[in-house]
Chains A and B, each alone.
Chain A
Amino acid sequence: MDVILLAELAINGVFVGLMYALLAAGIVLIYKTSGIANLAQGALAMTGAYVVVMLAGGLGLSMWLAIPLAMAVMFLVGALIERVALRRMIGQPVIMVIMLTIGLEIFLRGLLPGLFGASVKRLDLGIPNAPLFLGDLLLSRALLIGGGVSLALIVLAILFFNSRLGVIMRAVSDNQTASWSVGIRVERAIAIAWGLSATMATTSGVLWGATQGVDWSLSLLLIKALAIAILGGLDSMVGVLIAGVLVGLAESMATGILDPIVGGGTRDVVASVIIVLTLLLRPHGLFGREHIERV
Chain B
Amino acid sequence: MFFRRAGISHTRYQQERQLWPLPIDRLTVLAVLAFLIAAPFILDRLYIVSYLLPLIIWSSAALGLNLLMGGAGQIHLGYGAVIGIGAYTAVHMMRAGIPFELAMIGGGLAAGAIGIVFGASALRIKGLYLAMATLAMQYIVDFVIVQFPAISGGSQASLQVPPVSFLGFPIQGDRTPYYVALFICAMITLFMLNVRRTSFGRALVAIREKDYAASIIGVDPFRYKLLAFWVSSFVGGLMGAVLATCYYRAISPDQFHLDLSIQLVAMVIVGGLGSVLGVFFGVSLILFAPILLNQTIALVADTTGLTLPMDLRAHLPLMLYGGLIMGFLLLEPLGLAKIYSNIRNYFLVWPFRHSRQ
Which residues of A does B touch, CB under 8 Å? 37, 39, 85, 88-89, 92-96, 98-100, 102-111, 113-115, 117-118, 223, 226, 230, 234, 262-263, 265-266, 268-269, 271-273, 275-276, 279-280, 283, 293, 295
Contacts and interface: CB of A to CB of B under 8 A. Distances in A.
B329 A114 contact: no
A223 B216 contact: no
A265 B147 contact: yes
Interface stretch (B232-240, B276-284, B318-326): B318-326
29 contacts: A37-B132, A39-B131, A89-B330, A93-B73, A95-B75, A103-B326, A106-B322, A107-B321, A107-B322, A108-B322, A113-B315, A114-B319, A223-B135, A223-B136, A223-B139, A230-B129, A230-B132, A262-B147, A265-B147, A269-B139, A271-B139, A272-B137, A272-B139, A272-B140, A273-B140, A276-B136, A276-B137, A279-B136, A280-B124
A103 B311 contact: no
B125 A85 contact: no
Interface string B218-241: 000000000000000000000000
A99 B322 contact: no
B330 A110 contact: no
B143 A89 contact: no
B127 A94 contact: yes
Nearest to B69: A95
A99 B329 contact: yes
A62 to B, nearest CB: 27
B27 interface: no
B329 A96 contact: yes
B350 interface: no
Interface in B40-93: 69, 73, 75, 77
A262 B147 CA distance: 7
B121 interface: yes
Contacts of B266: 103, 106
A295 B262 contact: no
B333 interface: yes
A81 B265 CA distance: 22
B8 interface: no
B143 A268 contact: yes
Contacts of A88: 330
A96 B143 contact: no
A226 B216 CA distance: 34
Given A111-B315, A276-B137, A104 B322 contact: yes
Contacts of B136: 223, 271-273, 275-276, 279
Contacts of A115: 312
B258 to A, nearest CB: 9
Specify which of A96, A103, A113, A226 lies most central, judged by the most chain B CB atoms within 10 Å of its CB. A103
A276 B129 contact: no
Given A95-B75, A114-B311, A106 B325 contact: yes
Contact of B133 (A94, A105, A117, A276): A276
A269 B136 CA distance: 8
B133 A107 contact: no
B351 to A, nearest CB: 35
Given A108-B322, A230-B132, A279 B216 contact: no
A37 B212 contact: no
B140 A99 contact: no
Specify which of A106, A118, A223, A279 lies most central, judged by the most chain B CB atoms within 10 Å of its CB. A106
A279 B321 contact: no
B316 interface: yes
A279 B132 contact: yes
A75 to B, nearest CB: 21
Given A114-B315, A265-B146, A102 B265 contact: yes
B330 A100 contact: yes
B325 A114 contact: no
Contacts of B322: 103-111
B147 A114 contact: no
A59 to B, nearest CB: 19
B64 to A, nearest CB: 17
B75 A107 contact: no
Nearest to B216: A295
Nearest to A31: B128
A218 B155 CA distance: 23
B314 interface: yes
A237 to B, nearest CB: 18
Contacts of A293: 212
B128 A85 contact: no
B99 interface: no
B311 A118 contact: yes
Nearest to A276: B136
Specify which of B69, B124, B132, B266 lies most central, judged by the most chain A CB atoms within 10 Å of its CB. B132
A110 B139 contact: no
A276 B140 contact: yes
Nearest to B317: A110
A94 B329 CA distance: 12
Nearest to B268: A99
A279 B128 CA distance: 11
Contact of A279 (B124, B139, B315): B124
Nearest to B319: A110
B125 A283 contact: yes
B269 A99 contact: yes
A41 to B, nearest CB: 13
A279 B121 contact: yes
B315 A280 contact: no
Specify which of A111, A113, A279 lies most central, judged by the most chain B CB atoms within 10 Å of its CB. A279
B319 to A, nearest CB: 4
Contact of B329 (A89, A117, A118, A279): A89
B315 A226 contact: no
Contacts of B137: 272, 276
